Structure 1
Amino acid sequence: MLGTTTSTTPLYFVARFDRRLETWHDPTPRKSESTFEEFREACVKAARRNFSLVAARSSVKPSEEHVRQREEHDRKSLMIALEVYRTQNNMKPTELEFVEVKRRNLIDESGVGYLHFNFLVKGLDGKQTMFFAEVHHDLEDENDVYLCKPLAEDDLKPSKKNDQALCKGCEYGAKDLIHPTCGSFRGGHKNVCPLRLDNDDDECDYAFI
């Protein structure tokens, strides 16, 4: 029976709960020993502790190996994204060359991870162009590339159209990451509470990202 105790049951545990509620003989409900305000306060304290743990984790500087693995993953992801763009535009592999990542940001939207990038691409004429890419945070193949395209001049100019295409996911940690005004990226359209307020090199992301 649920209401029974043993010799090893702590007295404070027995005193804390009304064992009569745990028997079939007396199912009459009684008032809880905790008020709603006490319950709310406990929830707030738990949330604050959780936020502190997340903040502490986000402030831990990753090892050099962690950074190296993340950079390598970014490079491979963007080379796949660039190949998707070349295929869509009937371009030869030699026409565009990946140069470097300029800005990155991880978005956690309802449990789905998106990575937004600004990166430089060099053409056959040697001219470098800024691209935007959105990929799955743990990209494996071309199916995990959601968008890859060069940024146009209009994308670089502040305007009402740009404001409407604002990525809410990058608003906190990567305000200078440029997005296409078409707004066709998947992540970043919902207002979500960010897990971190910065996106510097000391961030801790999924796996080694």
Structure 2
Amino acid sequence: MDVTAPAPNPVAPTVDVFGTTLEERVLLAARDCIGAKGLRDTTVDDIAVAAGCGRASIYRLFPGGRRGLLLAMVHAEVEALLEGLADTVDAAADLPTAVAEAVHAAASALAVHPVLQRSLVEDPGSVLPYISFDGAAPLYARVAAWGRDHLARFVGPDDAEAVGEWAARIVLGHLHQPSTRFDLTDPACVRHLVDAYLVPGVRAGALA
């Protein structure tokens, strides 16, 4: 599942009276349904009912049906998280603060994400292939590009990409296999990791 690919949307969005597109309603409905029923037990029909549309509308919006919809939902969730982290990072005064706050915010958000946490408990096989080993490569690439956009004011563009990927690996590694020693939802613990392991590496690279 390539989370970096644009969410499929071959038809013009239809905006309802509240200003929300049908695509957005369907994605929100998918998140709510999966969070309530689990990934395996959620059908396209369930999502269509929750979104207030017919299943045919979902197939028109998301070619591939259920899989295409899930791909688009993952893409939307990743982009929403990165957009929120951008505000935090852009307000930081220095690189260690920016990275520590981003890692803490991301880990805290994922720790209470209803769909992700339920899937990890009930159906880990549907999640783990995309957050570990080669399956996580598209996500690392996306966060590296995000790092270039939001961290390059502190270091060079290439180092900014490396720092973004480092942060993503820390968060996904903890999500995949939580540590009893480090708690990424504890801001003091995250700052220690950044100061002890990231900052020396960045400084060494700058002097090389």
* Class of the TM-score when normalised by the shorter of the 2 chains: under 0.3
Per the normalisation by structure 2, the TM-score is 0.22
Q: Structure 1 or 2: larger helix share? A: 2
Per the normalisation by structure 1, the TM-score is 0.22
Q: Structure 1 or 2: larger strand share? A: 1
Structure number with greater Rg is 1
